[in-house]
Amino acid sequence: MKAQTISGLGVDLAEVSRVRRLAADPRFLKRVFTPGELAYALKSKNKFERLAARFAVKEAVIKALDETALPLNSIEVENTPSGSPKVTVKGRPGLRLLVSISHTRAYAVASVIAFKA
């Protein structure tokens, strides 16, 4: 396997209760999440934990890329067939991001490593 150079690292911690409060506003949901992310999270009994986890990933991506103007809904978190998270950024083909997510009833945490193309 060819070695790749790391270009950035981002970590974020999100409070599930804060995301629950913000999610009461449909404008927040539309501004932050993609339709696929909403469909995935809202079908679950622990939907706010899943939304908080995706929110943490988006913030960690922004930190890893050092791009604060990147729209949150241009970052999409999906699950691979095995269940591990995969992140894509609209308009950024070839961008390689490695992500890890974890959550409890109270908090969600995400770590993202960005690699140079």
CATH number belonging to domain 6-115: 3.90.470.20
What integer is the mean pLDDT of 84-90?
96
Question: 3-state class of 77 per DSSP?
Answer: strand
The per-residue pLDDT for 93 is 87
Band (pLDDT 50/70/90 cuts) for residue 105 is very high
Could you read off the pLDDT of 9-67 as tens digits, one per residue?
Answer: 999 999 999 999 999 999 999 999 999 999 999 999 999 999 999 999 999 999 999 99
35-42 and 47-65 are packed helices; what angle lies between their axes, rounded to 10 degrees? 150
**Does the pLDDT at position 1 exceed 70?**
no
Please calculate the CA angle 90-84-45 and round it to the nearest 5 degrees: 95
